[in-house]
Amino acid sequence: MMKSCLGLVVLLTFVAAGDVEDKFVEDGVVSDVLTVAPSALLKATFTEGNEANLGNTLQVSKTSTEPSVQYADAVVGQKYTIAMVDPDAPSRENPRAAQWNHWLVTNVEGEDLKSDNKVDGKVLMKYNGPSPPAKSGPHRYVLIVYKQPRTINSRVSRNRARFDIGAFAKKNKLGNPVAGNFFFAETE
């Protein structure tokens, strides 16, 4: 019985990882933001219990405050970087300001990331909720977690436009993202 339960847990974890990778590819996050999809899901919960769920649509007004996040596989004693970018700024048809840097925090402790709390780390870019221009269509808001090889002492431009999370990850030797999620939001 115990072996059956363990096998089911492993199978469900594998299916969920495949779902994350598939959705990142299907909705163009791999290519427009990343070169490799994360394999694990980052749980991101906004006000009133609104959760990002691999491409669901959330109201702009419900995502204006920093979400609580949880990465179930975070390792105690390990540090992580969390980012949220919009690859569709000012619109998906004309992303001349992409990637818009909505949030960037380094040196997040694994134990904090594991516990579904507000993020505590070195804030390089304060959280700025979605604010897509009216009639610009749905925007993807991509949340990404990287495992850090060491404590990061880095800076980013104060300008949110034309940020490149891939270049930031490369510069800081972060490797591929370990977890992620995304949602759509639109101002009509």
With 0-12 CB in 10 A as exposed, 13-18 as middle and 19+ as buried, what is 163?
A: buried
Look up the pTM and report it. 0.89
Residues in a beta bridge with 140: 184
Cα separation values, 24 from 18, 21, 145, 152, 165, Å: 10, 5, 14, 27, 15
pLDDT of residue 18: 78
Task: Look over the chain and give the mean of its residue pLDDT values, rounded to a whole number.
Answer: 90
CA 61 – CA 79 distance, rounded (Å): 31
- What is the C-alpha to C-alpha distance for residues 131 and 153, in angstroms, rounded to an integer? 29
**Amino acid, res. 128:** N
Asked whether the beta carbons of 49 and 74 are under 8 A apart, the reply is: no
Residue-level pLDDT at 119: 85
| Predicted local distance difference test score (pLDDT) of residue 116 | 74
What's the pLDDT score for residue 11? 37
- Residues of the chain below pLDDT 70: 1-17
Give residue 138's pLDDT: 94
pLDDT for residue 151: 96
pLDDT in tens, 82-105: 999 999 999 999 999 999 999 999
C-alpha distances (whole Å) from 169 to each of 64, 68, 105, 147 are: 26, 22, 12, 10
CB 59 within 8 A of CB 75: no
Cα–Cα dist 32/19, whole Å: 18
